[in-house]
Amino acid sequence: MSIKSGIRKIRSSMVALTTSALIALPALAGTAMAGELVINTDSSFPAVKKAFQAAVTGFEQENPDIEVTWNVFDNEAYKSAIRNFLSAESPDLATWFAGNRMLPYVNAGLFAPIDDVWAENGLDKTLKAAESAVTFNGTKWAVPYTYYQWGVYYRKDLFAKFGIEVPTTWEEFKAAGAKLQENGITPVAIGTRFPWTAAGWFDYLNLRTNGYDFHMAVTRGEIPWTDDRIRKTMGHWAELLKAGFFLENHAAYSWQEALPALVNGDAGMYLMGNFIVAPLQEAGLTDDQLGFFQFPVIDPTIAMAEDAPANTLHLAAGARNVAEAKKFLAYIARADVQTMMNEIMGQLPVNAQSSVADDPYLQAGFKMLSNVDGGLAQFFDRDAPAEMAKAGMEGFQEFMVKPERLDKILARLEMVRKRQTQ
């Protein structure tokens, strides 16, 4: 392109800009009267983006007088962007996570309470599964629109080949692992380079050893890390470590990099959230090869509790279109909307009246979560305050490689806890 034509191009685009601004001006004034709604979401993953697209389109069809501006952020970038946009130029609604993760924004007065939305729409009945996770000081702070189960994903075909039954108790679980080892298979695949995966094991071992209430008290920082009950949990973990249950060099891999072990049949099980299914299927595992089971019972006197992290939609304190925003919150809480969105995302709807997609893993997860008596945790890094979460996850990673340092690790975590509760 010659310089001259380049300049001409710039000039013509400037003209276009000014004219479009002239046209846009009255248009803007027009929509302001009709009602606007600004939603920021962290839905850059294709399936999640598609689900939100469908939700927004559906809402606009039902409410033609409301114009929705929907901003999609990259998932990782969103985590720092939300701090800026909530305090500077606030949208009306923003996606975030339930549990302790929302507290910094609640405490800073950046999220607004939505008790009225819950009361008017009877959400305490339909969204009961995640109610406690979005309640703080007796006030509701979000509408949960999706969640997913955690559990053990395993190689059904390998279990069948070596005559291993799906383990339901701790002894059976250890026996199943031993049987796999006899046949040259590592029982459990895991990648702890990003150490949150190790926290999944802590969550489950602690939930099964000491129960939901105790586990939540630990994540809230009410129990010293040097408590004997935590030592008991770590003791169960040490049994597996001593027996060489986990993939070698797991600290060198991310959770994705540990997947080939399961796909190639070098490992038999993987404790993970349901999002593990999609990459495993893409890697070629069929439903005949891949199965799901609930994390086995350790202490039969303790009610079963599960990790089931929920994603949430929050009303920003700086929202300008509060009425429209609350309308959208009520909309996204609805059974039919959650059915539709979660079918696209491949996750579980929170609304009890929604139906679950026809998928063996989702159905299994739904059945499991419907029968939970103990309670639903949000996952360690959402239940514990950020600093404690980070120290905890690094401590668990270190413990998995150097179990003999348990005392030192627990002492360090206790120091962090004390500072946090000061």
Which positions lie near another protein, rule CB under 8 A? Answer: 79-80, 83, 87, 104-105, 107-108, 110, 192-195, 248-252, 381, 386-387, 389-390, 394-395, 397-398, 401, 412, 415, 419
The residue among 6 and 260 lying less far from another protein, judged by its C-beta, is 260
Strand partners, 315: 93
The residue among 357 and 389 lying less far from another protein, judged by its C-beta, is 389
Closest approach of another protein to the CB of residue 245, in Å: 17
Is residue 106 within 8 Å of 142, Cβ to Cβ?
no
The residue among 70 and 78 lying less far from another protein, judged by its C-beta, is 78
- CA–CA separation, 367 vs 292, rounded Å? 12
The residue among 87 and 181 lying less far from another protein, judged by its C-beta, is 87
Closest approach of another protein to the CB of residue 402, in Å: 8
For the chain, the C-alpha Rg in angstroms (whole number) is 24
Closest approach of another protein to the CB of residue 250, in Å: 8
Closest approach of another protein to the CB of residue 368, in Å: 29
Q: Give the H or E element holding residue 310.
A: strand 310-315
Q: Give the H or E element holding residue 284.
A: none
> Where do the DSSP E strands lie in 235-372?
267-273, 290-293, 305-307, 310-315
> Where do the DSSP E strands lie in 10-149?
36-41, 67-72, 93-97, 135-136, 139-140, 143-147
Q: What is the DSSP string of 44-80?
A: -SHHHHHHHHHHHHHHHHH-TT-EEEEEE--HHHHHH
Residue 421 CB-density burial (10 A; 0-12 exposed, 13-18 middle, 19+ buried):
exposed
The residue among 211 and 268 lying less far from another protein, judged by its C-beta, is 268
Closest approach of another protein to the CB of residue 77, in Å: 11
Place of tokens 């959770």: 255
Residue 16 CB-density burial (10 A; 0-12 exposed, 13-18 middle, 19+ buried):
exposed
Closest approach of another protein to the CB of residue 144, in Å: 21
- CA–CA separation, 142 vs 373, rounded Å? 23
Q: To 10 degrees, what angle do helices 335-345 and 322-333 make? A: 70
The residue among 251 and 340 lying less far from another protein, judged by its C-beta, is 251
The residue among 65 and 387 lying less far from another protein, judged by its C-beta, is 387
Closest approach of another protein to the CB of residue 401, in Å: 7
Closest approach of another protein to the CB of residue 386, in Å: 4
Closest approach of another protein to the CB of residue 400, in Å: 10
Coil, strand or helix at 332 = helix
Nearest Cα neighbor of 380 from 174, 239, 201, 222 is 201
Closest approach of another protein to the CB of residue 160, in Å: 27
Coil, strand or helix at 405 = helix
Is residue 90 within 8 Å of 111, Cβ to Cβ?
no
The residue among 73 and 159 lying less far from another protein, judged by its C-beta, is 73
Closest approach of another protein to the CB of residue 74, in Å: 14
**H helices present in 258-321, as ranges:** 259-263, 277-282
- CA–CA separation, 123 vs 140, rounded Å? 10
